[in-house]
Chains A and B, each alone.
Chain A
Amino acid sequence: MLEVSNLHARVGNKEILKGINLSVKAGEVHAIMGPNGSGKSTLAAVLVGREEFDVTEGAVAFQGRDLLEMEPEERAREGVFLAFQYPVEIPGVNNAYLLKAALNEVRKHRGESQLDAMDFMAFVKERMSILKIDQDLMNRPVNEGFSGGEKKRNEIFQMAVLEPKLAIMDETDSGLDIDALRIVSNGVNAMRNAERATVIVTHYQRLLNYIVPDFVHVLSGGRIVKSGGKELALELEDKGYSWIEGATETVGS
C-alpha cells in the first residue's frame, strides 16, 4: 500500500530525513520509534504533504500512485489520514460541521452520495459510542477548549468516521492519562482490519502494549537503523535509545 524509497527531506538548509525506506502492506500495523529529533514527526508530515518540508530525493508510492505529486487534500481524499500530535483549534467552527464537510469530500471522491445532516448524525452516533465521545463534543468548536485527552480522542474519532486506508498517528499517546490511552487504543484496535494500514509514530513503548504492532522500526538521525517485530519495542524500552544510537555510529563509521 505504501512504499517509501530513499526519501530525503529538509526544512530550510537542514536535512532531516536522510534516506528512509519503508514498505507497509494493507492490514499491517507499523510502529516508528526513535529518540527526539530523529525525524519521526517529519516523516509523518512529509507523507501528508506539509509544505514547509522539501523533498529532495526519493519517492513515495501510495496504492501505486505517486503520493508526493498530490495536494494534501487529495491525499486525504485518497485515504491518507494523520492524527495530529497537536490538533489545532478552530474557533466558531462546529466540530460536527467540519467533520461532515470532510466526510462528504471523501465520499464525493469515492463516487459515493453526499450525506445530509440526518444521515450524517445517524452514522456518527454509532462511531461515537465506540470511542465514548459525548454528543456535546460534536457541537463544540473544533478542539477549542478541549483537554489534551479530548483532542486526541477527537482525532481518533475523526479517523473512525473518515475510514482511511492509511492511518498515521503522530505521538498520539503523548499527554494521555492511562484511561484516555485505553480508550484511544480501543478505538484504533476496533478499526484494525485487513484493508487498513496503520503507522504509529511514538517515542514510548507504552502505547504498543495496547496497540500491538506487526513491525517496529527505529529511526535515528534521519534513517531507519533497525527493524524487527513487536519484541524490538520491548528491547528498546529495556536498553534505551543509546543502544541504537551507538549502533548507528558503528554503521556510519
Chain B
Amino acid sequence: MATSTDSIEELANQDYKYGFVTDVEQEAIAPGLNEDTIRLISSKKQEPDWLLEWRLKAFQVWQTLTPPSWPNVTFPPVNFQDIIYYSAPKQQAKLESLDDLDPEIKATFDKLGIPLNEQKMMSGVAVDAVFDSVSVATTFKGKLADMGIIFCSFSEAVQDHPDLVRKYLGSVVPVSDNFYAALNAAVFSDGSFAYIPKGVKCPMELSTYFRINAAQTGQFERTLLVADEGATVSYLEGCTAPMRDENQLHAAVVELVALDDSTIKYSTVQNWYPGDKDGKGGIYNFVTKRGKAWTNAKITWTQVETGSAITWKYPSCILQGDNAVGEFYSVAVTNNYQQADTGTKMLHLGKNTRSTIVSKGISAGKGQNTYRGLVRIGKNAKGARNFSQCDSLLIGDQCGAHTFPYLEVRNTSSQVEHEASTSKIGEDQIFYCRQRGLSTEDAVNMIVNGFCKEVFRELPMEFAVEAQKLLGVSLEGSVG
C-alpha cells in the first residue's frame, strides 16, 4: 500500500542497480581448497584449536559427499578448486569506531541504502555489514549490550563469547548435513552472531547485509542466532552482488536456536545478481537455513527471493518441544533464465506442534520455479497440525512452475492440509486495470503484489516496501 504506482514504474524501468564494483584493496588467498586453505583461514582469524578441528572434520566429511542432484535445476558442475575461499578488504587490525571504516566501503553501503552511520540509519534497525568474507561493521552494539544482547560478527563472537558459540555451533545444522553445509563449515569466513538473553525482547530489528564484491570469490557466511528462554527477536537479511559474467557461489548456513517460550522471526530479501537477460552470470545461492524450536517456542521464516541465477534453499523448522510453532512464508520470483528450487521442511517432533506454509511462486520469461516442501509428523507428535498453501503464478507461456510436496505422517491424531493452485495472470485482469488508466507494467505489478500479499504482510514495514519494489524490478519486461 505504501508504494505508489509511480515509483514501481520508475523501478520497473531500470536494470539491476546494485551491480557496481567497489574499488578497494583486497587481501585474498589463492584459489583452491585443501586442508592448508582451511588452516590458513583459521589462522587469519586467530581461531581457537577446537574450531580449527571442527572445520577440518567438516572438510573430511565434505570430501565424502557429492552435490545434491535431486533439485529441479540444471547448471554445469562447479569446480571447487577455482574458487577463492577468503577475500577481505585490507584495513586496520581492529576498528575502534565506525568512523575508522574504509570510506570506500562505507560509500558502498551508502549506495546500497544501508548507511553505517548510526545517526543516519533507519531508527530501530541494527546492522552487521558483511563485505566478501568478513564483517566490516556492526551498528548499535553498545546500545544492545546494555540489555545483555550480543550482536556482532561471527569472528568477534568466536573471540569474545567462545562458550556460547561452541555450545550452539552445528547444533541445528550438523557438519554432515549436506554437501554445501559441510563445505560452509569447513571454509566459512564470517557472518553474524546474536544472542538474546532470557526474557529480553530485542528492542530493534537486527539485520545483516551481505555484499559480494570480489571476482571469482565465493561467499560462505554463517549466522547463528540464539534466543534464550522467553526472548523475542526479529532478524532481517539482505544481499546484493556486482554484475559479473561468471557465476559466483554463495553457500551460507543459518542456524536458529529458539529455546523454551522464545520467538524468532527471520526475514530475508534475497537480491543477489540474477544473471543477464540471456542467463549469463549470476549467483548460485545454495543455502542451508534451519531453526530448532523448543517448548512453546515459535520460529517464523519469511523470504522474498528475487535474485540469484539458481536458488536452492529450504528454510526449515525442527519443532522439537511441545506446542512449538513453525511458519514459512515465501515469495520466489524467476524471470529470464533464473531457476529456483525452494521450499521448507517442517519436522514435527513435539506434541501439539503446529506449522504453516504459504508459498507463492512467480514465473516469468523462461524462469523455472519449483516449490519443494516436506512435512514430517513423528509418531510422538500427537495432535500436531500443518497447513500448507502453494500458489503459482505464470506470466507468459515459456516459464514453468512445479510443486513437490512431501507429507509423512506417523500418527493418527494429527491433521495435515495442503492446498495448491496455479494461475496465469489473465489478459482480462490486465485489461481491466488498463481500462481504469493504469499502464500494463503497473497492472502486472499490482496483480503480482496482490498475489503475494499474504507473505508481504509478514515482513517488517521497511522490508515490505522494499520487497514490493523489488518485484517490479525483477519482472521488468516480462509482459508484452
Partner of B432 from A51, A90, A97, A101 at Cβ < 8 Å: A90
Q: Are A92 and B451 in contact (CB under 8 A)?
A: yes
Contacts of B452 in A (CB 8 A): 92
Q: Cβ of A93 and Cβ of B434 under 8 Å apart?
A: no
Is there a chain B Cβ closer than 8 Å to A19's Cβ? Answer: no
Query: Which residues from 52 to 91 on chain A have a C-beta closer than 8 Å to any C-beta of chain B?
Result: 71-73, 75-77, 81-82, 84, 87-88, 90-91
Q: Counting CB contacts under 8 A, is A27 at the interface?
A: no
Determine the distance from Cα of A81 to Cα of B437 in the docked complex, in whole angstroms.
Answer: 9
- A141 on the interface (CB 8 Å rule)? yes
Question: Are the CB atoms of B434 and A71 closer together than 8 Å?
Answer: yes
Q: Which of B412-447 contact A (CB under 8 A)?
A: 426, 428-429, 431-440, 442, 446-447
Q: How far is the CB of A118 from chain B (nearest CB, A)?
A: 13
Smallest Cβ distance from A159 to chain B, in angstroms?
A: 10
With contacts A97-B1, A98-B446, A101-B446 known, is A91 near B451, CB below 8 A?
A: yes
Known A-B contacts A50-B431, A98-B433, A101-B5; the reply to A90 vs B438 at CB < 8 A is no
A233 interface hit (Cβ, 8 Å): no
Interface size on B, residues (CB 8 A): 25
Q: Evaluate contact between B442 and A90: CB separation under 8 angstroms.
A: no
Q: Is A105 an interface residue (CB 8 A)?
A: yes
* Contact for A77 among B429, B437, B442, B449, CB less than 8 A: B437
Whether a CB of chain B sits under 8 angstroms from the CB of A174 is: no
- In the complex the two chains form, is A91's CB within 8 Å of B450's CB? yes
What is the bound-complex CA distance between A101 and B444, given in angstroms? 13
Q: Roughly how many angstroms separate A51 CA and B479 CA in the complex, as a whole number?
A: 15
Contact among A71, A92, A114, A158 for B436, CB-based, below 8 A: A158
- Inter-subunit contact B437/A106 (CB<8 Å): yes
Contact A105:B437 (CB < 8 A) given known A72-B431, A90-B429, A97-B1: yes
Q: Which residues of B contact A98 (CB under 8 A)?
A: 433, 436, 438, 446
In the assembled complex, how far is the CB of residue B361 from the closest CB belonging to chain A, in whole angstroms?
15
Flag whether B453 is at the interface (Cβ < 8 A).
Answer: yes
In the complex, residue of chain A having the shortest beta-carbon distance to the beta carbon of B391: A91
Looking across the interface, which residue of chain B has its beta carbon closest to that of A143?
B432
- Cα A109 to Cα B454 in complex, Å, equals 33
A102 adjacent to B450 (CB under 8 Å): no
Interface residue? A48 (CB, 8 A): yes
Q: Say if the beta carbon of A31 comes within 8 Å of chain B.
A: no
Residue of B1, B432, B451, B453 contacting most chain A CB atoms (<10 Å): B432
Q: How far is the CB of A53 from chain B (nearest CB, A)?
A: 12
**B1 and A76 contact, CB distance less than 8 A:** no
- Contact between chains at B438 and A102 (CB < 8 Å): yes
* Nearest CB on B from A96, distance (A): 9
Residues of B within 8 A of A92 (CB): 449-454
Task: State which of B1, B439, B449 has its C-beta within 8 Å of the C-beta of A73.
Answer: B439
Say whether A94 faces chain B, with CB atoms less than 8 Å apart: yes
Indicate if the CB atoms of B436 and A102 lie closer than 8 Å.
yes
Q: Is B432 within 8 A of A73, CB to CB?
A: no
Q: Is the interface of B mostly helix, strand, loop or mixed?
A: helix
A73 touches B438 (CB 8 A): yes
Cα A148 to Cα B221 with chains together (Å)? 55
A162 to B433, CA, bound (A): 13
- A93 & B447 in contact (Cβ 8 Å cutoff): yes
Q: How far is the CB of A18 from chain B (nearest CB, A)?
A: 25
Tell me the residues in window 145-163 of chain A with beta carbons closer than 8 Å to chain B beta carbons: 158, 162
Chain B residue, CB-CB nearest to A103: B437
Query: Which B-chain residue is minimally distant from A168 (CB atoms)?
Result: B435
A246–chain B nearest beta-carbon distance, Å: 36
Of residues 441 through 475 on chain B, the ones whose CB sits less than 8 Å from some CB of chain A are 442, 446-447, 449-454
Closest B residue to A81 by beta carbon equals B435
Which residues of the partner chain A approach B451 to less than 8 Å between Cβ atoms?
Answer: 91-92
Minimum CB distance partner of A116 in chain B: B4
Is the pair A76, B435 in contact by a Cβ cutoff of 8 Å? yes
By a CB distance below 8 angstroms, the chain B residues around A87 are 432
List chain B residues, Cβ under 8 A from A94: 1, 450
Given contacts A90-B447, A93-B447, contact A76 B437 (CB under 8 A): yes
In the assembled complex, the CB of A134 is this many whole angstroms from the nearest CB of chain B, namely 20
Contact B435 A141 (CB under 8 A): no
Complex Cα distance, B273 from A58, in Å, reads 50
| Contact status of A73 and B437, CB under 8 A, knowing A90-B447, A101-B5 | yes
Minimal Cβ-Cβ distance residue in B for A74:
B437
A77 / chain B contacts, CB cutoff of 8 Å: 437
CB B202 to nearest CB in A, in angstroms, measures 31
A100 to B438, CA, bound (A): 11
Closest B residue to A87 by CB, please name it. B432
B450 & A88 in contact (Cβ 8 Å cutoff):
no
What separation, in Å, do the CA atoms of A104 and B450 have in the docked complex? 19
Closest to A83 in B: B435
The chain B residue sitting closest to A117, CB to CB, is B1
Given contacts A72-B431, A88-B432, contact A101 B442 (CB under 8 A): yes
The answer to whether B426 and A48 have CB atoms under 8 Å apart is no
CA distance A87 to B4 in the complex (A): 24
Contact between A102 and B437, CB atoms less than 8 A apart = yes
Please, how many angstroms separate the alpha-carbon atoms of A213 and B96 in the complex?
Answer: 81
Residue of B nearest to A144 (CB): B450
Alpha-carbon distance between A75 and B452 when the two chains are bound, in angstroms: 30
- Chain B, residue nearest A76 (CB): B437
Closest A residue to B5 by CB, please name it.
Answer: A101
| B residues less than 8 Å from A114 (CB atoms) | 4
A72–B434 touching, CB < 8 Å: yes
Show 13 residue pairs from A and B whose CB-CB distance is below 8 angstroms, ordered by the A residue. A50-B431, A76-B435, A76-B437, A88-B432, A90-B432, A90-B447, A90-B450, A92-B451, A93-B450, A101-B5, A102-B433, A102-B437, A104-B4
Given A51-B431, A109-B437, A141-B450, 13 further pairs, Cβ under 8 A = A50-B431, A76-B436, A76-B437, A81-B435, A84-B432, A87-B432, A88-B426, A90-B446, A90-B447, A97-B1, A105-B437, A106-B437, A162-B436
Q: Which 5 A-B pairs have the closest CB atoms?
A: A92-B450, A93-B450, A105-B437, A102-B436, A92-B453
